[in-house]
């Protein structure tokens, strides 16, 4: 009798513990589980049915389906491959044209942890004015955690109508801080090329991106400096996240001798070469690079280094050696898919590795994450000038 009472009490206790554990987890099982396999379409319909029937709030079917598409594409595990809604596609196309409404930051996905890292705030942009720096990792937009979202989905949340306010939360690794910035969106006009003549007739061109109009802007700057008697050229692609590959190839063609600028290889192994003609720069050339020189910037840097037409000064580049293709869908949305790897003229794929400069030069600690560096403090620029002057002797 005592044993039965004890056993009954023991089982009651076990059941009570299980019930408490289930309640603590907030789980209520509606029906029994089974091991029956479901066809893919049936499973999607079943999930949708359960959400319709049991989810406590109203379900926005359109948002749910859009996130399903995004999740399907995200399943390949590549931060550069993404589904884009109609609105995200429009935002993406704006960026390639060089003007948009937003806070004014160049960003990319860090493949090491799939975080959104700021390559650089655009000069005079709202982002620069509030204090967002190169290297900051955006972790929240308007208080919403953005981990798990693709690049274009995050950008569409950051961008918005001029005059509206957005709260950006960043993690600043350099100081191990989480910082909040309240930013008013503005209309951003991006000129990807600026230029000037330094002392000793050394030309300087800053190339901040590869947009649709960047080649024309570069050619105009290059021709103006040449007409002024340029004896050497410093091309600055620090904090340049890349852009349109064909524009990078056109700019490289102005600088390098005849040969392969870059070649790409797709999943079938097919190789495509982008070639330059005989015309090339006739004066000493230096490229300034850093850890935020990425993608198309690295195409240009790799061609200059491998074809021995100039030297690289700065720090190791970012290491993005992948090419994306854009595939529009009939409803106005699109897929951005990594379709190729690219290789420098000597056959090096820099994906995940980057390019090592010929002269490794660090900036002073206080300017490592700055877009604006006083010329007298720019150790990398000073080294570039010294290398050019040495070559002119």
The CATH number of the domain where 134 resides is what? 2.30.42.10
| Whether 158 and 90 share a structural domain | yes
Structural domain including 277 reads 193-392
- Flag whether 120 is in a domain: yes
Residues 373 and 228 in one domain: yes
Could you tell me the two tokens for 27? Answer: 């789980």
Does 365 share its domain with 352?
Answer: yes
Looking at the structure, tell me whether residues 174 and 200 fall in a common domain.
Answer: no
List beta partners, residue 180. Answer: 169
Q: Yes or no: say if 287 and 250 are a contact pair by the CB < 8 Å rule.
A: no
Among residues 159, 186, 206, 320, the one annotated as catalytic is 320
Same-domain pairing of 91 and 232: no
- Which range among 101-115, 160-174, 273-287, 335-349 shows the weakest confidence by mean pLDDT? 101-115
| Same domain for 205 and 344 | yes
- Known active-site residue 295: yes
Quick one: 156 and 242 in the same domain? no
- Whether 229 maps to a domain, the answer reads yes
Q: Is 286 helix (H, G, I), strand (E, B) or coil?
A: strand
- Measured CA to CA, the distance from residue 281 to residue 125 in angstroms comes to 33
| Domain-embedded: residue 156 | yes
CATH number (domain holding residue 331): 3.90.226.10
**Residue 387, in any domain of the structure:** yes
Q: What is the mean pLDDT of residues 172-178?
A: 93
Point out the least confidently predicted range of 108-117, 262-271, 355-364: 108-117
**Whether 304 and 252 share a structural domain:** yes
Rounded distance between C-alpha atoms, residue 169 and residue 172, angstroms: 10
Instruction: Among 189, 224, 257, identify where a domain stops.
Output: 189
Pick the catalytic residue from 293, 295, 297, 370: 295
Q: Which pLDDT score is estimated for 97?
A: 67
Given the residues 125, 306, 311, 370, select the one marked as catalytic. 306
What is the DSSP secondary structure assignment for residue 243, as one 8-state letter? B
Task: Quote the number of domains for the chain.
Answer: 2
Same domain? 303 vs 204: yes
- Residue 98 placed within a domain: yes
* Same domain, residue pair 270 and 379: yes
Does residue 119 fall inside a structural domain? yes
pTM higher than the cut 0.85: no
Give backbone dihedrals phi and psi of 209, rounded to 5 degrees, phi first. Answer: -175, 170
Where is average pLDDT lowest: 20-29, 232-241, 378-387? 20-29
| Mean of per-residue pLDDT scores for the chain | 89
């Amino acid at each position: 009798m005592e044993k039965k009472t004890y056993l009954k009490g023991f089982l009651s206790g076990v059941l009570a513990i299980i019930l408490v554990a289930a309640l603590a987890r907030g789980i209520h099982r509606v029906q029994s589980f089974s091991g029956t396999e479901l066809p893919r379409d049936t499973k999607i319909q079943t999930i949708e049915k359960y959400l319709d029937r049991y989810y406590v709030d109203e379900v926005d079917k359109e948002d749910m389906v859009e996130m399903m598409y995004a999740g399907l594409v995200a399943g390949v595990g590549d931060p550069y491959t993404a589904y884009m809604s109609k609105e995200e596609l429009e935002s993406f196309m704006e960026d390639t044209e060089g003007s948009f409404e937003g806070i004014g930051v160049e960003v990319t996905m860090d493949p090491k942890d799939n975080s959104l890292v700021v390559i650089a705030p655009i000069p005079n942009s709202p982002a620069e004015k509030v204090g967002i720096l190169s290297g900051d990792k955006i972790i929240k937009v308007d208080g919403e955690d953005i981990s798990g979202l693709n690049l274009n989905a995050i950008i569409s949340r950051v961008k918005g109508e001029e005059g509206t306010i957005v709260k950006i939360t960043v993690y600043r690794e350099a100081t191990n801080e989480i910082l909040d910035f309240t930013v008013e969106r503005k209309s951003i006009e991006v000129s990807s090329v600026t230029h000037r003549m330094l002392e000793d007739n050394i030309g300087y061109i800053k190339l901040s991106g590869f947009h649709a109009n960047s080649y024309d802007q570069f050619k105009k700057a290059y021709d103006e400096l040449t007409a002024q008697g340029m004896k050497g050229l410093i091309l600055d692609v620090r904090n340049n996240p890349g852009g349109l590959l064909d524009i990078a190839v056109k700019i490289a063609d102005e600088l390098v001798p005849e040969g392969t600028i870059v070649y790409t290889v797709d999943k079938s192994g097919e190789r495509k070469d982008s070639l330059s003609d005989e015309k090339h720069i006739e004066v000493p050339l230096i490229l300034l690079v850093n850890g935020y020189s990425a993608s198309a910037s690295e195409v240009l840097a790799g061609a200059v280094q491998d074809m021995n037409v100039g030297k690289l000064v700065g720090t190791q580049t970012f290491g993005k050696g992948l090419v994306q293709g854009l595939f529009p869908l009939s409803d106005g949305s699109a897929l951005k898919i990594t379709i190729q790897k690219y290789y420098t003229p000597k056959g090096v794929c820099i994906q995940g590795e980057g390019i090592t400069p010929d002269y490794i030069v660090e900036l002073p600690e206080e300017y490592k994450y700055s877009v604006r560096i006083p010329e007298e403090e720019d150790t990398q620029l000073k080294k570039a000038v010294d290398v050019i002057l040495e070559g002119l002797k």
